[in-house]
Structures are given as C-alpha cells and as structure tokens.
Amino acid sequence: MQECSELEVTAFFEKYTSSLQYVAADPATSRCAIIDPVLNFDEKSGATATRSADEILAFIEKRGLTVEWILDTHPHADHFSAADYLRRKTGAPTAIGARVIEVQKLWKEIYNWPDFPTDGSQWDKLFAEGESFLVGEIPARVLFSPGHTLASITYVIGDAAFVHDTLFMPDSGTARADFPGGSAEGLWLSIQEILSLPDETRLFTGHDYQPGGREPRWESTVAEQRAQNTHISTCCRKEEFVRIREARDKTLPMPRLILHALQVNMNGGRLPRPEANGCRYLKFPLNALDRTLDDGIEDNGRH
C-alpha cells in the first residue's frame, strides 16, 4: 500500500477579524480543500469585498491546485463565509457539519424568518459525526466538536486537525461558549476528544488575537496544547474548566458582527437577495441577545 504524502497547509490571516483561512493540499495529487474562507465586510459602510477569497484563488492558481472541497467548521459569528463565492468560482462542493440544521432552527426564530429552510440544503454536503472523506489521496474524517456552537466540527486530515473556535494558541486558551446553543461543558468534552489525538498531530486554529502584540500564530500540536494551554493545562477537572470558562464569558461582549454574520453564514455564505431597488439588506433583531450596553468594551468577542 502506497504511503500518503503529508498534508501541506498554507494559512491566510485576515487581519480585520483576526481569522485564519487555510488551503490544505495533497502535494502528490495537487488537490486541496479550502477551510473557513472569509468574505470581507465593513459594518460601518455595509461594503462587502472578496479580497481574502481572491488571494486564496490566486495562490491556488499559482500552485496549480484543484479545489475538491470548500469546508466550514461551523456557522461563524464574527465574519462572513466566502464559501458560496468560492463555490461559484471553482465549482467545488461546499460542506459543513450536519448539525448546522440545529443552528438554523435556533437562529430562524431569532431572525423571525418563517420561510427559511432549516434542512442544510444551502450546502452541497452535510458531514455526519465520524464520516470519512479524502483530500487528494489523504484520508480525512470529521469529529463533532460542539461547545462554541451547536454545530462545530473538527476536520482531521492526515496528521492535521482544523479545530477553529475550540482551541486557540496555547497562550490564548479556549473559545467562548456563551453564544445561543453554546455549552462550556460541551466545549470541555470536545477539547478532550481533540487532545486524545496523537501527540504529534498538528492543530490549526481559526483565530489568533495576538496577545501582547506578538505576530499572528496558528499552528501547535496536541502535546503543546495539553502542556501549555492557559485554560487546559491548569484545569484537571471538567467542573473547574466550566467554572472558569463561564466566568470569563460573562465579561465578554457579543462579537461586533454576530447579528450581521449569522444570517449570512447559516445560509451557506449567501448574501440576502437584492430587493426591488437592486440593494441587499441585512435584518437585525433588537434586544434578542442577553447583553446590555454596559457589558464592557468591544473586543470582537474573542475568548
């Protein structure tokens, strides 16, 4: 049996939302997956742009890669997904975890969209827990990783795992778990499953908020996270982690783009349809989230 080549991972840091996007490629076949791509958005002007996605496309063209998958780890609350744009550009299928339908049902009520379909049909593929697939000839599988959201998943591709809003870099700890449908206990259990992967497994996170002003970082290993993560290495029991996580979450304001982003991202990254005048409009439920104006200084709801 021929041994598979090592997954080649290229990261693209989107500074405005401190987001990491990835191209995960099999060098033996020149086939790749795009993971968690960002559609640029300025909430002050309402302007959208495809700069970040186009940078990924330029890289793929330069390297002569073929896109097999456009993968989201969950419906993001802090940036728009460029999945639909990249699907139209590349023809590659979009995919997300099957439990996205639970997020759709929850936010359908928050946005009061009675006709919004909550069957996940906005994506080409809904991955079940434990389901396997390929990136080129490199085996991949899906871990169900709830806690940050109801639908969060981890993609384990070869010796790499894309954990997005579950673990951050060791000096930044773990993701928040107080969004609608979130659970600190669920987050702990998801982290334990990720940290049960082999010690040398490369972990790629979805955000880096550059504590202390350091340069962006995004890659660690299971062994490094277990030994050094500021939230995990000091917590030996689930109850202790839940107490610390929930206390921290109470001090965090909601991300500045959560109400903008969820209505786009639970629709597979599609912007609202143009109205009669040719313009697109976002919809905002007022006072729907459990936060008040004096909850603290905006920090993008980071961790």
Provide the b/e sequence for 164-200 (b: ≥16 CB within 10 Å).
bbbbbbbebbbbbbbbbbbbbbbbbebbeebbebeee
> For position 303, what pLDDT does the model report?
57
- Please compute the mean of the pLDDT values over residues 246-255 and round it to a whole number: 92
pLDDT attached to residue 8:
98
Q: 222-233: string of b/e by CB count within 10 Å (b at 16+)? A: bebbbeebbbbe
Local confidence band at 301 (pLDDT 50, 70, 90 cut-offs): very low
Mean pLDDT value of segment 81-101? 98
Q: Is 184 in contact with 174 (CB distance < 8 Å)?
A: no
The arithmetic mean of pLDDT across residues 8-14, rounded, is 98
pLDDT digits (tens, 9 = 90+) for 280-295: 999 999 988 865 444 4
Q: How many CB atoms lie within 10 A of CB 62?
A: 8
CA of residue 116 relative to chain centroid, distance: 22
Residues 151-187 have pLDDT tens digits of 999 999 999 999 988 999 999 999 999 988 999 999 9
- pLDDT over 90 at 211, yes or no: yes
How confident is residue 236, by pLDDT bands cut at 50, 70 and 90? confident
pLDDT of residue 3: 53
The Cα–Cα gap between 105 and 80 comes to 19
Instruction: Report whether 290 contacts 250 (CB < 8 A).
Output: no
Per-residue pLDDT tens digits for 51-72: 999 999 999 999 999 999 999 9
* Per-residue pLDDT, 4: 63
Residue boundaries of the structural domains of the chain:
8-265
Question: Residue 44's pLDDT is what?
Answer: 95
Q: What is the share, in percent, of the chain residues with pLDDT greater than 90?
A: 88
Give mean pLDDT, residues 98-108: 96
Geometric angle at alpha carbon 219, from 23 and 71, rounded to 5°: 35
For residue 126, the model assigns a pLDDT of 98
Q: Any residues with CB less than 8 A from the CB of 37 and at least 6 apart, and which?
A: 21, 52, 53, 56, 70, 81, 82, 83, 85, 86
**How much is the average pLDDT of 215-224?**
98
Provide CATH code, domain 8-265: 3.60.15.10
Residue 296: per-residue pLDDT: 42
Sign of dihedral through CA atoms 282, 283, 289, 294? positive
User: For residue 201, what are its two tokens?
Assistant: 């497994």
Q: How far apart are CA 78 and CA 284, in angstroms?
A: 15
Rg (CA), the chain: 18
Write down the residue that tokens 């930044």 correspond to. Answer: 172
> CA nearest 166: which of 146, 183, 185?
146
Sequence-distant (6+) residues with CB within 8 A of 236 are none
**Confidence label for 299 from pLDDT (cuts 50, 70 and 90):** very low
- pLDDT in the model for residue 288: 85
User: Is-above-0.85 flag for pTM?
Assistant: yes
Please give the mean pLDDT across all residues of the chain.
93
Going across the sheet that includes 80-81, the strands are 47-49, 38-42, 80-81
Burial of 216 (0-12, 13-18, 19+ CB in 10 A): middle
The answer to whether 158 touches 140, Cβ cutoff 8 Å, is: yes
In this structure, how many other beta carbons lie within 10 angstroms of the beta carbon of residue 283? 11
Percent of the residues in the chain that have a pLDDT greater than 70, as a whole number: 94
Q: What is the pLDDT of residue 263?
A: 96
| 160 beta partners | 157, 202
Give residue 290's pLDDT. Answer: 66
